[in-house]
Amino acid sequence: MKVFVTKRIPEAGIRFLSEKGYEVVVREEPGLISPDELIRGLRDFDGMISMLSDPIGADILSEARKCRVIANYAVGTNNINIKVANKQGIAITNTPNVLTEATAELAMALLLAASRRIVEADRFAREGKFQGWGPLLLTGKGLDGKTVGIVGMGRIGQAFARMVSGFNAQVLYYSRTKQPVPYPLVDFETLLKESDFISLHLPLTPESRHMFTQREFTRMKTGVVFINTARGPVVREKDLVNALNSGKIAYSGLDVYEFEPNITEELKTMDNVVLLPHIGSATEKARNDMAILAAGNVNAVLKGEAPLTPVQVELE
């Protein structure tokens, strides 16, 4: 049987499948995959390992002839029309748990880098501008005694909350459902008004798309720090730019973008924004574990067994 991998993943996943006797074909071309390539994958291969950047909608799935499983190399599955896939008998899987700590660490790193002006300070030093210590030099915002609002308290949100708590910060959260965590659940408006830092950890759904626009930014504290390692389209990027320009948001750290991989040009010129190229899960351990889990899901389905981490409906 044949398995199509839409972008090269760590060798551990490829080796797992090869040792099981599968013919593995990896797309090596740079850039985003074309619809025609995805259609060929669904027509000619028994299984597919896809990326979050691969748009597998109803039009693509309607061309499926042979494929029995699509293993998304991500926790999120907003790139796949799951309902259509399930109706066609195609199993959809994801990679939960194995990237939780890595993504939470990255959110923590972004928060500190943005609020303490780490990237700006690094550039300042490299450019030879450092003339000695000064009481007002590159002062930023600290976490001690501040309130961190977390939007989305799933696995990653909980790991991030645990990390933030170690900095003597008060944590509160907003979620559609109450979670078994030692932090207060508040309504969305309260979180916006009371948080000194806001970090997003929710999936992209029709309800969460453009959850943060000018309306929400105006309700935040002036000088808030805003972090997004969730999904880009949760934020209307042009409104974020305006909030940064006005000072309503003092600093921002972003790992995801509304029109990814394109980034709003004005964001690239701002000293008060830290920009990363969607590397939330980019640790060696997490990426290897994701590869093995995705490969394991493909193998299970093609052997006639239940997938290890099935996705039946859109994630919350």
Whole-number Å distance between alpha carbons of 115 and 253 = 9
Whole-number Å distance between alpha carbons of 73 and 51 = 5
SS3 71: strand
Whole-number Å distance between alpha carbons of 127 and 106 = 26
216 counts as catalytic: no
201 counts as catalytic: no
Whole-number Å distance between alpha carbons of 81 and 99 = 23
| Choice among 68, 116, 201, 231 that is catalytic | 231
| Choice among 27, 162, 210, 278 that is catalytic | 278
Return the closest-CA partner of residue 63 out of 73, 78, 48: 48
- Per the DSSP assignment, residues forming a β-bridge with 294 are none
Q: State the Rg of the chain over Cα.
A: 21
260, 280 in Cβ contact below 8 A?
no
28 counts as catalytic: no
Q: Locate 124 and state its tokens.
A: 């300042």
| Choice among 194, 260, 266, 314 that is catalytic | 260
SS3 91: strand
Type of residue numbered 309: T
73-104: string of b/e by CB count within 10 Å (b at 16+)? bbbbbbbbbbebbeeeebbbbbbbebbbbbbb
- Per the DSSP assignment, residues forming a β-bridge with 198 are 149, 226
Return the closest-CA partner of residue 74 out of 104, 48, 101, 53: 53
The catalytic residues are: 231, 260, 278
